[in-house]
Amino acid sequence: MNATATAGVTRRAVGAPDVSRLDWDEVGPAVELLLRDYVESAQVNAASVWARELWGHIGRGLDGGKRLRPQLVCLAYGAFGGTEAGECAAVGTSFELLHGALVVHDDVIDRDFVRRGHPNVAGIYREAGLARGLPAGEASHLGSSVAVIAGDLLLTASLRMLERTTAEPAIRSQLTEILHGAIADAAAGELADVLLARPVFGGDLAGEGDGRIDDVLDMERLKTATYSFEAPLRAGAVLAGADAGAIDAVGRVGSLVGTAYQVIDDVLGTFGDERQTGKPATSDLREGKLTVLTAFAHPESASPRSASPRSASPGSGPDLDQMRDALHEAGADSYALTLAHSLVTEALDEARRADLPPALRSELTRICNHVLHRES
C-alpha cells in the first residue's frame, strides 16, 4: 500500500458521517512513535556497546516502511467502530515488528544482503567484515549470523508490543492467538518456500496431491498473506469487538487479497523495474525460487535451478535474462496477472456475501485495485 491507498483510508474517514471514526492520520504517527520508543528503549537498556549498535541498525531498517499491516489493522478496527488510536497503534506496531523479523530471517534464508536498495542488517555486518579483511565467505556468514540474532530480537519485540494493549483479557487472548497463528503460518510458508525451491523434495505441500501451482499458492498464502493481510484485518476486527462471523469473513478476504499481492510480487520479482522494487531484478530467478511464474512454465520440475544450477555464475546477466524471456514467451506473466485478478474478484465477492460494512468494502476495493496495479 503506498501513498495512494494511505490517502484513501484518510479520505474515507474524513468524509464519513461519524466524526469519532478512527483516522490513520492519528494512528500512523502513534505507530511511528511506538517503533521509535521501542528501539530507543532497547538501545538505552542494551547490555553491550555492540547490542546498542545493532539496535541502531535494526531501527534504521524499520524506518520508512509503508506500514501496510498497521494500516490494515486500523482499517478493520475503524470500520467495526473502534475509536482508541493508542490501542490500535500498539496492535498495528506488533504486526510491523513481526514483518521486520520475518524479513530479516527471510533475507538470511534467501542470502539477500540488500533491501530497498540499501544493505540490510546482514549486509551491514558483511561489509564491516569485508572492510576489516575477512574472506568473503566468512564475512557473509558473519552478516547472516548477526541477522539471525536481529530477527530474534524483532520477533520477541512483536510479541512484547502486543502486551501494551489494555484490552480486556478475552480480547487480548484472541489477539495473541491471531499473532501466534500468523507466526506459525509464516514459518510453514517459509519452510515450503525453502523446500519447493529444491525440486528433489517433491511438492504436495498439503498432502492432497495438488498441482504445482496450487502448492505455490498455498506457500504464498502461508508465507505472506496470513501475517500481512488476514491477521492484521482479523486483529483490527477483534479489537473493535466485531462479531465472530464478520471476523472470519474479513480474514478470508484478507487471505485472498494477500495471496494476490504475493502473486504480483512474483511478477515484480522477475519482471519488475529494479529502481522501483529496490531489489535486483531476476533475484527470484537467481535464488532459484519457485514462483507462480516458474511453476506455470515448468509444471513438473518447477525450479529454474534444475535448468540453471546456482553454481553457474550468480549475478551474471545473460542466463537469467534468457530465463526471463522464456517465461514471458510461455505466457507466465500474463497467467499470473489473470490469477491475481481472479483472487481479487473472489475476495470482493466474499466481502459482498458476508455483508461487511460498506465503508470497509469500499476500502478493500481500493486496496485490491492498488494490489493489482502496484509497481513496487
Residues forming contacts to its own copies in the complex (CB under 8 A) are: 42, 45-51, 54, 101, 105, 108-109, 111, 128-129, 132-135, 138, 141-142, 145-146, 148-149, 151-153, 155-156, 159-160, 163, 173, 176, 180, 183-185, 187-192, 194-195, 198, 200-201, 204-207, 218, 222, 309-311
Q: Report the residue number, 4 or 313, with the smaller CB distance to its own copies.
A: 313
- CA 102 to chain CA centroid, nearest Å: 8
Shortest distance, position 163 Cβ to its own copies, whole Å: 7
Q: How far is the CB of 32 from its own copies (least distance, A)?
A: 22
Closest CB to its own copies among residues 16, 134: 134
Cell numbers found for residue 343:
483472487
Distance from C-alpha of 94 to C-alpha of 173, rounded to nearest angstrom: 14
Which residue, 225 or 368, is less far from its own copies as judged by CB? 225
Q: Which is nearer to its own copies, 32 or 190 (CB)?
A: 190
**Beta strands per DSSP E along the chain:** 114-115, 118-119
Can you tell me the distance from the alpha carbon of 153 to that of 33, in angstroms, rounded to the nearest whole number? 19
Q: 70, 31 in Cβ contact below 8 A?
A: yes
Cα distance between residue 250 and residue 352, in whole Å = 11
Considering the complex, state which of residue 149 and residue 348 has its C-beta at the smaller distance from its own copies.
149
The CB-of-151 to its own copies minimum distance in angstroms stands at 7
Degrees (nearest 5) of the Cα angle 149, 150, 156? 90
Q: How far is the CB of 119 from its own copies (least distance, A)?
A: 17
Strands 118-119 and 114-115: antiparallel
At its nearest, how many Å lie between its own copies and the CB of residue 305?
9
Cell numbers placing 147: 541477522
CA separation for the pair 50, 253 (Å, rounded): 43
